[in-house]
Structure 1
Amino acid sequence: MVKLSVLDLANIGEGFTAADALANALDLAQHAEAAGYNRFWLAEHHNFAGIASAATAVCVGHVAGGTSTIRVGAGGIMLPNHSPMVVAEQFGTLETLFPGRIDLGLGRAPGTDQHTMRALRRGPDSSEHFPQDVVELRTLLGPPQEHQSLHAIPGEDTNVPLWILGSSLFGAQLGAILGLPYAFASHFAPQELLRAVKIYRERFEPSVQLAEPYVMVGCNVIVADTEAEAKRLFTSSQQTFTRMVRGGRGKLPPPIDDIEAFWSHAEKAQVSSMLACSFYGTPETILAKLEPLIETTGADELMVAAAIWDHKARVHSFELLAEALGQKAWTL
């Protein structure tokens, strides 16, 4: 049975503030917990006018403190931006405060542009040390070893579950070698999804954390009471990605009635490729649209994003999706 989880970028909608986005993130997490979602992740992005989750560990604490059972974590922390020691202390503290509920997904990309990367005091070669940094972080979060001189307090022996995130074959290979669960960012970069999942499963080596390969697949899912409304809500994401193609950034725009008048044919083709793992529909139609993705990937879990400008509509979408998933016993 495939599990269902939430990826929230804490989107700041046009006409709203970062404070609104963070309050909405907690509210969505509370509704997701009540609806039976497995986990709620926030992602690290910097210098984005429309994303409020840059201080990801702080946001995780905000959400975890306002919920009681749902797992909360980072999807993910861009490790090249940080020292493993600092991340171990941050997430060790979170695990100490909220035992058994914290996840730590790790990405290799800087999660921003070159100017911001320099502002974060990270060099252009930081990502080259990602495998070693993951191993160092896992050691700091694990049980103390004899003659170990460096200790993360809190952090040591909290054994916070690590995940490898990726949108290429590199992360698949690293996750397999280290025996860690693997989450593919197909919600914005789906091109290598099937190859990456295949490589991960074929090369997986069991670890203390994980005995068998575990795959999480990212996707965008929007559910509304009517097909037309779901299609309209999806135009916020389509506009955002079109603006990215044009080299611009901004807050999440409200939906529009005619997306065809907004983008060119070339932009439509490029954005549609980036959003290939995106689905919209009603509770009656959405399962049939998701089934092929689950079947072809063999996903153990879906990590669902939904960039919906209206917060009530976003909460409603996640509730409708949970209800729709509950209508069928998934045995794929």
Structure 2
Amino acid sequence: MKQLHDIPFSVLDLAPIREGGTAADSFHNTLDLARHAEKWGYNRYWLAEHHNMTGIASSATSVVIGHVAAGTNTIRVGSGGIMLSNHAPLMIAEQFGTLESLYPGRIDLGLGRAPGSDQAAARALRRGLGSDGSEFPEQLSELRAYFDPEGSASRPAGVRAVPGEGLNIPIWLLGSSGFSAQLAGQLGLPFAFASHFAPDYLLPALHLYRTSFKPSAVLDKPYVMVGLGITAADTVEEARRLATSQQQQFLNIIRGRTGKLQPPVDSLDGIWTSQEKALLMSKQQYSIAGDQALIEERLLQILEETGADEWIIASQIYDHPARLHSYELVADLLKK
């Protein structure tokens, strides 16, 4: 049976812009966290593509990946993920071919099929608004063909990705439902699930991935990375207070609006309605706020439920030193 210290652990960073801060502050904090994460033994540092969100600075994801990779030495850096429907596959192949050429052996390409934006932003990104994500397998096939010198049948005739062609850049499929889970299984690719915001679909998606898995040149058996929201502090009370910043962010999503990451509050009473509280709590099944003992207990439960091969941890904490301390506490726990 797997133990916690057997599981690699990674960082998912949304490059949060906090209330009173700027995108420049966010990028400074992102690099600082990445450098600490490297020192503490984290395996990967992934950044997520979102658009038209005033509290998230990682919209130009490839650029921020380059910023982090340039300021670190050994940690893998990548996307969690690039929303492929927003981009021409050739452009992503060139961008990640460039990153891999600059930082060889350290770049991951995680791909999602959602737009990562609202309809107005999707229109500005020149996406076809009638798309339901069904074109994703074809786009993925074209993208993979740009990296494969023998993959000319899946890409436009005479078009090559330079840099990109011939480079070994690990591709992951990301998901919050069964579509990408099944596709990842059929293609024999590693799969990461966003259980920190789609908890109800985690176990069905992992089952679908594993039962549909076909060995490939990439993997001989399934490999699952489970996304968790973790807020760690020296006491349970402090962790729960810090976690109210993330909860306020969820409230904004529920209410159909965006905003910067808010300072923590002692209580959300008077801020949320009873219906909003119930909905938010239902989305927090795989979000943990506590001290090391509480987090260890819950992680052991999740490990038994999921059989995860790797964790990827998102911590939306307003105060940067507190965010660093949270990731350090988690690393100390998982290395025991």
TM-score in terms of structure 2 length: 0.95
Supply the AA of the counterpart residue of 1:15: G
Contact persistence 2:225–2:310 (CA under 8 A): yes
Counterpart code for 1:65: A
Is the contact between residue 60 and residue 72 of structure 1 (CA under 8 Å) also seen in structure 2? yes
Q: What is the CA-CA distance between 1:145 and the residue it aligns to?
A: 5.1
1:120 corresponds to which of 125, 141, 144:
125
Verify: 1:265 aligned to 2:271, yes or no.
no
Quick one: which of 235, 239, 256 aligns to 1:247?
A: 256
Note the residue ranges of structure 2 that are not aligned, 5 or more in a row: 1-5
Aligned length in residues: 327
Report the counterpart of residue 140 of structure 2 in structure 1. Answer: 134
Instruction: Give per-residue Cα distances to partners, 1:137-193, cap 9 Å, x unaligned.
Output: 111112345796221000001121000000001011100111110000111111110
- Please say if 1:58 is aligned against 2:63: yes
* Aligned ranges 1:143-162 → 2 under 5 Å: 143-144=149-150, 149-162=158-171
CA contact (8 A) 2:145 2:152 kept: no
* In 2, Cα distance between equivalents of 1:305 and 1:3: 15
2:78 paired residue among 66, 73, 76: 73
Residue type of the partner of 2:332? Answer: E
Of the candidates 292, 310, 322, which is equivalent to residue 319 of structure 2? 310
Q: Is the 8 A contact 1:8 1:43 kept in 2?
A: yes
Whichever residue aligns with residue 149 of structure 2, its letter is P
Q: Which moved more, 1:318-327 or 1:52-61?
A: 318-327
Residue in 2 aligned with 1:85? Answer: 90
Residues 16 and 56, structure 2, Cα contact 8 Å, conserved in 1: yes
- Cα distance in structure 2, aligned partners of 1:290 and 1:163: 23
Greater mean deviation of Cα atoms: 270-279 or 247-256 = 270-279
Are residues 1:95 and 2:104 paired? no
Residues 144 and 157 of structure 1 are in contact (CA less than 8 Å); yes or no, is this contact kept in structure 2? no
Shift of the 205–224 alpha-carbon distance from structure 1 to 2, 3 Å rule, reads same
AA matched with 1:95:
E
Q: Out of 202, 205, 208, which is 2:211 matched to?
A: 202
Separation in 2, partners of 1:133, 1:159 = 18
Tell me, in whole angstroms, the C-alpha distance in 1 between the residues paired with 2:268 and 2:53: 23
Please tell me the residue identity of whatever aligns with 2:266.
D
Please name the residue that 2:51 is paired with. Answer: 46
Alignment of 1:8 onto 2:13:
yes
Q: Does 1:214 align with 2:220?
A: no
Query: Are the equivalent residues in 2 in contact too, given 1:78–1:106 (CA < 8 A)?
Result: yes
CA distance in 1, matches of 2:140, 2:152: 20
Question: Per the alignment, do residues 263 and 97 of structure 1 end up closer, same or farther by CA in structure 2, a change over 3 Å counting?
Answer: same
Cα deviation code 1:107-129 (max 9, x no counterpart) = 00000001110000010244221
Shift of 1:276: 1.7
Please say which of residues 34-43 and 281-290 is displaced more in the overlay.
281-290
- What SS does the corresponding residue of 1:304 show, helix, strand or coil? strand
Matches of 1:267 and 1:215, distance apart in 2 = 31
Is the alpha carbon distance of 1:198 and 1:16 closer, same or farther for their aligned partners in structure 2, counting shifts above 3 Å?
same
How big is the shift at 1:261?
2.7
3-state SS in 2 of match to 1:217: strand
Query: Given residue 156 of structure 1, which amino acid in structure 2 is its aligned partner?
Result: E
The whole-number CA distance in structure 2 between the counterparts of 1:214 and 1:268 is: 34
CA contact (8 A) 1:235 1:255 kept: yes
Structure-1-length-normalised TM-score: 0.96
Checking the alignment, whether the CA contact within 8 Å between 1:175 and 1:200 is kept in structure 2 is yes
For 1:131, the aligned partner's letter is: P
Q: Please, which moves more after superposition, 56-65 or 138-147? A: 138-147
